[in-house]
Amino acid sequence: MKILDCRNQQCPAPVVETRKLILAEPGIALTVLVGDDTARQNIARLAASLGYQVADTEADGHFSLLLTPGSAPQATTAPPAAPGRTVVYVGADTMGTGNDELGHILLRNFLYTLNELLVPPDAILFVNSGVKLTSAGSEVIEALEKLACNGVDIASCGLCLEFFGLKEQLKVGRATNMLDIVEQMHQAGRVIRP
């Protein structure tokens, strides 16, 4: 039996690492150690959706989840996905409204988690303060470079880069214009806005 220790990891790392291991070695029994109840609940839902039985225990403020393969869940009929490209539109350097510090963390986690999708988006469009994420000093350059290596078009608004004085500091992807942004969004089957 494998043991995956995620006690010192923050969301979404525990569920992402658990998913990676389950997909890499389907049908294995696994014990996952996590440090908080949210991670416990997320991993339990993931495991159940993949047909695993879950037994958890708590000790010293940590949780231990025993995941054992069971029968695969019944397939549900989902509506077909919209045809066409998937475009992610990032209009700020935060996700959501309220607390900017939390918004930075959420958007960073969102961009890193895009790398875990079986099918990544076709393009990510950055406008307004979102262009700060593709420029020097950004915490997400590594995640964006990985997406670009997997064929994702990373495009930052040139006017926005100029406005923030970042035109010479673009580190990943390409500079683009509003016509390209509008055309990509217009032709997309799905536009995701974090």
Let me know whether 32 and 92 are in one domain.
no
**What pLDDT score was predicted for residue 73?**
56
Structural domain that includes position 117: 86-192
Sign of CA dihedral 35, 36, 42, 45: positive
pTM exceeds 0.75, yes or no:
no
| CATH, residue 180 | 3.40.1260.10
Ordered alpha helix ranges (H), 13-157: 13-24, 37-49, 100-114, 141-149
Number of neighbouring beta carbons within 10 Å of residue 94: 21
Using a pLDDT cut of 90, give the percent of the chain over it: 70
Let me know whether 46 and 104 are in one domain.
no
- Judge whether 80 lies within some domain: no
Let me know whether 38 and 134 are in one domain.
no
Confidence band of 72 (pLDDT split at 50, 70, 90):
low
**What pLDDT score was predicted for residue 26?**
86
Domain count within the chain: 2
Closest to 154 measured CA to CA, from 168, 164, 140, 165: 140
pLDDT beyond 60 at 75: no
Q: What is the pLDDT of residues 59-69, one digit of tens each?
A: 888 999 999 99
Number of neighbouring beta carbons within 10 Å of residue 76: 5
Nearest-angstrom CA–CA distance, 35 and 10: 9
Q: What is the pLDDT of residues 153-188, one digit of tens each?
A: 999 999 999 999 999 999 999 999 999 999 999 999
Let me know whether 117 and 159 are in one domain.
yes
Amino acid in the structure at residue 131: V
pLDDT beyond 80 at 79: no
**What pLDDT score was predicted for residue 38?**
84
Nearest-angstrom CA–CA distance, 74 and 101: 40
- Judge whether 74 lies within some domain: no
